[in-house]
Structures are given as C-alpha cells and as structure tokens.
Chains A and B, each alone.
Chain A
Amino acid sequence: MTPSTPATAATAPAPPANRATSGDVARVSRARRRERSRAIVVTAGLAAAVTAVLLAALAVGDFRIGIPDLLARLVGQQVGELQPRIDYVLFDLRLPRAVTGLLVGVAFGLAGSLFQRLLRNPLASPDVLGISAGASAAAVLAIVAFGASGFAVSAGAFTGAVAASALIYALAWQRGISGYRLVLIGIGVNAALLSAVSFLMTRADMTDAQQALLWRTGSLYDSSWDEVAALLGCLVVLVPTALLLARALPRLQLGDDSARGLGLPVERTRLALLLVATGLIGVGTAAAGPVAFVAFLSGPIASRLLGGARPGTVPAALVGALVTLSSDFVAQHLFGDQQFPVGVVTGAVGAPYLLWLLAKSNRAGRGE
C-alpha cells in the first residue's frame, strides 16, 4: 500500500461552482422543451386525428353527407332542401353515437392509463384487474336474471365496476397497497367473475344470452342524446378531477418512498386516483359496455408515441377516443352488410398491436 502524497490529499478537488450559469439554465430548458414540444406535437396530432375520424363517422354511411353540408349544419347554417334528411341522420343517428364513442374512448383511455401508471404495471388495466368483469357480471345478471335493459343494465354495470374495485382494493390492503399484490388479486377476482358470467350465460335463454354477449363485447348501437347527456354530466366532473390528480403521477412513478420524500401523501392520493379511475370505467362501461381493451391499450400506445416517461394522460385519453371511434367506423363500414359491435374490432386490432410491441421490446432486450 503506497500512501498518496500528502500534497494530493491536501488539495482536494475544488468544489464545483454550485450556481448554474444562464447558459446552463438554457441548456436545461432546451432539454425540457424538446420533450414538451414532442408532447405538444403528439397531442395536437392525436386531437387532429380524432377530429378527422369524428367527421368521417358523421359523414360516411348509407346516406353520405358532404363535408361542407356537415360543417354547416354543425354550426347551425341552413343547407337547402336536403336539410330535414341530413338533420335526421346527423343529429338523431350519427352524432349521438359518435359523441358517445368519443366520450367513452376518453373515459377508458384516461382510466386505463391512470391504473397502469398508478400501479406501475402495464398489465394493471381495468379489464385485467376484474373491474370490467365486475361490470359485466352485474350487467349480465341484470339482463339474464331480471330481464333488464337500457338504464337498469347501465346502472348495474356501474355498480358492478365500483363494487369489484372496492373488493379488490380491500383484499389487497395490507398496511398499504402494493401494486404487485393488487394486480394479482385483481387477476383472481377477474377470473372468478368471468366464470360467474359464463355460468349466467348458460342459464339464459337464447335471446338474452345473445343480448348479454353483445353488451359484453361493447357497442355504440343504441346511443341516444339522453345517454350522451348523462355521460357528459359525469365526465365533466371526473375528467378534470382525474387530470388534476394525475399531476401526482410523476412522483408516484418514482416509487412510494421517493414520492413521499417529495411531499406526496401517497396512500391518500392513490386512493383518490383509484376512485376517479373506477368512476371513469364505471361510467364508460355503463354507456357502452366494457369495450374490449381500449383501457388496456391506450396507455402503452400513448407512451410509445411520447417517448420518455411523461405520464401522458391527455394523449392516452385521445388515443382511447381515436381507437374507439376508428374501430366503430371499421366495424360499421368495412365488413359490407355485416355490422359488428365496436368491441370486436378494438380487441382484434389492438391486441395484435400490443403483441407486436411486446415482441419488439422483448427482442430489444427491454422486456423483463
């Protein structure tokens, strides 16, 4: 062991000047702006895409409405002799359906990404955790056992989602919530509820079973303005609350200890976020059924578009709307005479996309 000369020991490296120069600040700002501008571009692009698909959904169909007429009627201008027909198709048929699709997509996309970010696990979406299954079980029970339809089914679905969520939270609570435990218990509750649904299906008569299957797949068929109003009323409260609470996500993403160290009341915030996300799922499911995998897919797709690790709740909500609207468009128009409910397409298109993502990230060595 050769001791270093006393000289080097005495002249320890001078402490760096701790004040950053304006150049340093500019450098940091640039890095931050680069990420933020990507987020802005992605959000704007998604918003434009949603608008485009929305317009297409309003214009295209057996009765085609030209874009100029469409825009004119939307802002209340007269369009000539076809106006009564246009108004019927546009305002009574297509607009409620498209707006329901938009709102439901936003609710599912937002809720799904909240769950996934909150529990720090891409598997932790409401359709895997048994919350959608809770809604399904309650709705199918209402349809099969009580012959319910319309509002009663919706109310049942909402109740089922909230009850399933409360059950999972209570079972997973052990001096706090661990994301891993909650996911695993959710998977168990999901399996039990789905098996209950299968059982109910065998007890139904043929028509009820078919109606229940349609509901479970998720569809926008019987959207009405009443429904839109109810949905909108709920989302006006839930979405801003969710976006506000989502400001805690950047801290929660760093783990419970770091989040607490950064001044976040972790359990309270997490409970509030879970409540809001469950509310969004419940409302969306009540309106359109558990549209397959919109909630599961929106978050991962949005974060791939954004890059980095921003929580991206708004982009996720827009991805949800885009996926729902475009899937409904495909389901209505691309299979000739055969119309499918939207849930068939979201699952069939979204899941392979996720598989592809998985294969890609696994191959790149990031999959753990």
Chain B
Amino acid sequence: MAGESAAAHTVAAAPAPAPAPAPAPAPGESRRPAVHTERISLGYGDRRVVDELSLDIPPGRITVIVGPNACGKSTLLRGMARLLRPTAGAACLDGKSIHSLSSREVAQQLGILPQSPSAPEGITVTDLVGRGRSPHQGWFGRWTDADEQAVADAMRATGTLDLADRSVDELSGGQRQRVWIAMALAQRTGVLLLDEPTTFLDLTHQVEVLDLLADLNRTEATTIVAVLHDLNLACRYADHLVVLSEGRLVAEGAPREVVTEELVRDVFALPSRVIDDPVSATPLIVPIGRHHGSANRAGTAAGTAAADSVAAAPADTPADAAADTPAEAALDVAAAIPPTGAGSAAVSGVASGAVVRSETELREVVDEPVPLIADKAAPAIDDESRRFLEAAPLLMLASAADDGSVDVSPRGDEDGSVIVLDERTVAFADRQGNRRVDSMLNILRNPRVAMLFLVPGIDHALRINGTATIVRDGELLDRLALKGSPPELAVVVTVSELFVHCGRAFGRSKVWDPEAWPDQGSLPTAGTLLKAHTALRDALRDAERYGS
C-alpha cells in the first residue's frame, strides 16, 4: 500500500539537467568515472532495504540523496561504494560492476566517507589525512613527494593545515569532520561519496562542510554524492536531488523540479509549505507544526508565518510559491477539517440546530459525573491493574497525528499485549504488519496515545493514556521476542493516566457471548473488504479526473 502511494507521486525520472560546463580539471587530476546503479537490491540478511533501484549519478555535479529515516539512503550509498554486496543488480563504475573490480582499483577512483567514522585514540591530524594515500601505495609502496603534496593539498582545501600536529581527539566536531574529509580528498578520487557528513554538527559547521564540498566540486569538478538529512540544505547544495522512500526511488532531478509540498507530505509525512529560499532561490521547506499550521489558517484565510516571510522576501526572488499551487489547495482542504474539539461544519443528514457545539450544550444533556467517577483516573499502575494488563491479550491503540487525523489499531500477542516495565511504563512490540505504520507515524509526530486493554470474557476494560516512544534497539526488543525473534521496533508508553471503563457497552453488545456471535461465513473477509475499498477509491479518482 505504501508502495502504491509512492508510485502515485513518482516524478517520472526527470532527465538530469545538462551538466553545467565544469571547469577544466587541473593538470594531473584524476578523471571522473561514471557512477550508476542497475536495478540494485541491497539488504542485510533477509531484510531487503533497497529494491531494484536504478540511478545515474551526473558526473561532475553534486548529487544529494534524501529520504525519511530508514528509507535506505545510507544503504544505497554503501552499495555504490562497494561496502555492501548487492543481492541483485549492480553498482557500476565506468560501466563495470563495482564488485568485479578489486577494492584497490575502486579506491583509486572512488572515495567514501562513512557515517561517523572512528579514529584510533591519539591519532594526529597529519597521520589520519596521510592514511588517505594508502590506495595509491600498495603493500611495498613508499611515501613519496606526490603523497606529501596530496596530503598538503587536501589539508589546505579543508583549512586543516593549522591543525597538523594536533590530536584528532581534541578537535571540535566541525574540525574533526573537516579532517575526515581531508583524508577522503587525499585519496584524490574523481568521485566522493559521503554518508551524512553533517551529522552532529551545529548549523555553522554544517554550512562550512557543505561549502567545502561545493568548492571542491567547482574547482576540481569532483563528482559528489552525499546523503543528507536536512532537506533545506540538500535543496540548497544539490545540483541533483534523489528522493528515496522505503528503498525505492520516488523522485530525482533538480531540487526546484522535485521538491513540492505533496512530495514532502508523501515522503516525509510532513505537512509543509514550500517557498523560495530568499538566499539561494532554491526550494525552502517550512514545516507546519501541530501548533501552527491549521490553527492559524482556521483564523485567517491567507496569512501564515510562512507566507509572511515570502512576502518579505526580496522582490527579485520568484514569487510563484505564494501562488495557489495544487498542493496548497489540498492543504486548504485539509485545513478546513477542524482540529479535534473545535466546532463542526455541516454534517450530512443532520439539521444544523441538532448539533452539540460546546461543553455547556453537552452538559445540558449529560449530567456532571459523581466525584468517584470524575476522579477515577489513577496516576500509575497499581498491582491490581498490573494483573489486569498482563492478562489482556489484545489492546486498541489510539494515536493522533499533529494535523488532527487519528488512528486506532489493534495490537495483540499470545503472551499478553504489553509487558509492564514498572509502575509508570509499559511496552509492546511492533510486529511486522503491512508496513503502513500509521500509528507509528502518528507517534513520531505526536507522542500522546491511548490504549484500551481487552480481556476475553471480561466486560470491563482498562484504558491507559500516556506518551509513547518508539524504540529500535536494546534489550527491550529481546524481552519482546516472539518465538526467539525480537521485533524490529517496540513502543514504550509512559503512563500519565489509567481508567476503568465499565462493562455496560460490553454487556449490551454481548461481545463475549458465543451465542451472540454471527456466522463466520455471513461477513465479508478482509480480502473482500480490501477489494471493495480499492474499487471505491478508483471510482472516486476517475470521478475527480473526468469530472463524472
């Protein structure tokens, strides 16, 4: 299903813009080999992370790969650098599969700076940068003047000459990253791959590192491929932007052609405005937070903070971002749906006078609860509740995104739906399902969740309200292992309130009474339902497209 949504918005592989006339390479410079992948599939063990991806890296340009966490961007880079053997397809260097070349041949043409590389304790800057020369030396090679020149060039280009004698341990994060880039430069390759070179750097140092890469690209015409997590910086520095989602290519091309509000919403699950960067005229993504976007727009039709800043932008920046793009129209529709709790527009089939619009109106119908019930929330899990929770094999997890959309989904395990870690904390596994991960996406955007715990045959239920965190590492996953295999993810919920739901709804619905259960055959199967939904979706889309 996720695949479908990705496919729907695939920008047909935009032809790479004709490379700008690159400056003639300095004499003695290494050539720029062509890099591309052919239906490359990459993964770890049985888990496939990148799926039949074909990509041409424009030579002499800066290509930036972006995508949400765990979309396979680093994996793709590792595949292109020969660090990871593909399960199918190939990464190619000058048309030859990179795995048919020796590692030394590759290292002479293509450099890789892995994500957070580790320097041995006590190493000096000169020593570390010098190690970049090793692909050119071989087992018996000696240190030559050319090596020394390459090291000095690399250190000059990165501004690390002043650090020559220093120990890498004592450098700042930005300095250290420059030293690592210097090491990669000393390798003198025509292609340089960098995996999140700006991680853990403050904004100043991020810009500093990226400027350095841009310099290098301009002066040496080095082909640069970088994985970045900051979309705005990616847009600013990339000649060619590659957007990945769930191991597939969603879009590629110049940032201006690729980055739209729909793309950001579909790929990053982030409602946003895309405006022109007032400095570089590249796309600038302004996220709409939970507290800003829809609330503001509900008040004023036009003005958002983002739009204001566009208006304040210099006149020479193109103003078309302020115009109503289809994306913006879609956002308006979304914004028209009120956030929870606010009043409601017309509801089909209900006269407007019959609608309850405020708490006062509500209380006219429903009396205040007695104090015992009003205060029935408990702040933590007592021993009795714990017994109930541990007996509940099924829970309903409710989550809400920052844009007000909500989700409720069932979770269950044979040994109980949750484990109680302590009085304030429960945890449950996120077993592999259909990969839509709606609840998980909601939690990322808004950690508040509610969980309703059900025990078969028992009419009352417990509810926990709390704050969820998604965990992907550690012993907790082993504790949640099912038949020896730990889940990929777990959700830890810090309890803020605990309620008892009385059993009347269960009693009335006779849900636990086998006598009242319907005949299995009389109801649609999950497959039938899915089919029906698809048909409905298609009909609606056709209606929109052809104005039925």
A74 CB within 8 Å of chain B: no
Interface string of B136-152 (1 = CB under 8 A from A): 00011000000011011
B121→A309 contact, CB < 8 A: yes
CB distance from B292 to the nearest CB of A (A): 14
A20→B134 contact, CB < 8 A: no
B316→A6 contact, CB < 8 A: yes
Contacts of A21 in B (CB 8 A): 156
CB distance from B84 to the nearest CB of A (A): 9
A170 CB within 8 Å of chain B: no
Measured CA separation A178–B10 after assembly (Å)? 39
CB-nearest residue of chain A to B309: A1
B153→A18 contact, CB < 8 A: yes
Interface string of B115-159 (1 = CB under 8 A from A): 001111111111110111011000110000000110111011101
Measured CA separation A175–B84 after assembly (Å)? 11
A27→B83 contact, CB < 8 A: no
B78→A257 contact, CB < 8 A: yes
A308→B123 contact, CB < 8 A: yes
A247 CB within 8 Å of chain B: yes
B45→A258 contact, CB < 8 A: no
B164→A262 contact, CB < 8 A: no
B149→A20 contact, CB < 8 A: yes
B280 CB within 8 Å of chain A: yes
A254→B120 contact, CB < 8 A: yes
A337 CB within 8 Å of chain B: no
B318 CB within 8 Å of chain A: no
Interface residue stretch chosen among B62-70, B214-222, B339-347: B214-222
Interface residue stretch chosen among B102-110, B383-391, B461-469: B102-110
Interface string of A14-30 (1 = CB under 8 A from B): 01111111001101111
Interface string of B186-226 (1 = CB under 8 A from A): 01000000000000000000000001000110111000000
Instruction: Place the interface of chain B in its size category.
Output: 35 or more
CB distance from B411 to the nearest CB of A (A): 31
Interface residue stretch chosen among A31-39, A89-97, A279-287: A31-39
B122→A16 contact, CB < 8 A: no
Contacts of A244 in B (CB 8 A): 139-140
Interface string of A293-316 (1 = CB under 8 A from B): 000000000010001111000000
A188 CB within 8 Å of chain B: no
17-76 of chain A: CB within 8 A of chain B = 17-21, 24-25, 27-32, 34-35
Contacts of B280 in A (CB 8 A): 9
135-153 of chain A: CB within 8 A of chain B = none
Contacts of B102 in A (CB 8 A): 263, 265
Measured CA separation A366–B170 after assembly (Å)? 11
Q: B219 is contacted by which of A6, A15, A308 (Cβ under 8 Å)?
A: A15
Measured CA separation A16–B78 after assembly (Å)? 30
A264 CB within 8 Å of chain B: yes
B243 CB within 8 Å of chain A: no
Measured CA separation A21–B161 after assembly (Å)? 11
Q: B279 is contacted by which of A4, A24, A27, A260 (Cβ under 8 Å)?
A: A4
Measured CA separation A99–B81 after assembly (Å)? 48
B132→A24 contact, CB < 8 A: no
A9→B78 contact, CB < 8 A: no
B91 CB within 8 Å of chain A: no
A84 CB within 8 Å of chain B: no
B156→A261 contact, CB < 8 A: no
B156→A17 contact, CB < 8 A: yes
B82 CB within 8 Å of chain A: yes
Q: A247 is contacted by which of B123, B139, B155, B220 (Cβ under 8 Å)?
A: B139
Measured CA separation A263–B111 after assembly (Å)? 9
A13 CB within 8 Å of chain B: yes
A18→B134 contact, CB < 8 A: no
Contacts of A31 in B (CB 8 A): 124-126, 164-165
Contacts of B314 in A (CB 8 A): 3, 6
CB distance from B449 to the nearest CB of A (A): 34
B287 CB within 8 Å of chain A: no
B112→A261 contact, CB < 8 A: yes
Q: B164 is contacted by which of A27, A253, A307 (Cβ under 8 Å)?
A: A27
Contacts of A247 in B (CB 8 A): 139
Contacts of B106 in A (CB 8 A): 263
Cβ-closest 9 pairs across A and B: A263-B107, A3-B278, A309-B123, A20-B152, A263-B135, A261-B112, A257-B114, A15-B215, A263-B104
Chain A interface residues toward B at CB < 8 A: 1-4, 6, 9, 12-13, 15-21, 24-25, 27-32, 34-35, 120, 175, 244, 247, 250-251, 253-255, 257-258, 260-265, 303, 307-310, 366
Q: Show 6 residue pairs from A and B whose CB-CB distance is below 8 angstroms, ordered by the A residue.
A: A1-B312, A31-B125, A32-B148, A254-B119, A258-B114, A264-B107
